Amino acid sequence: ELWEIVLGSDTNIPVDEEAKKKWMIKAGKALFAIK
């Protein structure tokens, strides 16, 4: 799932607020690790 973000393919952010929060944290960590 995080590799889809890295590679630029379409991603679906969860609609559920709690799931969305966790998804954003994971995405942020992945992007930080790339830098």
Q: What percent of the chain has pLDDT over 70?
A: 54
* DSSP string for residues in 1-35: -HHHHHHT------SSHHHHHHHHHHHHHHHHHH-
Cβ distance 14 to 20 under 8 Å? yes
Q: Which residue segment(s) compose the domain that 19 sits in?
A: 2-34
Residue 1 has pLDDT above 70, yes or no: no
Residue type present at position 10: D
Q: According to the model, what pLDDT value does residue 22 have? A: 83
Residue type present at position 2: L
Number of domains in the chain: 1
Residue 10 has pLDDT above 70, yes or no: no
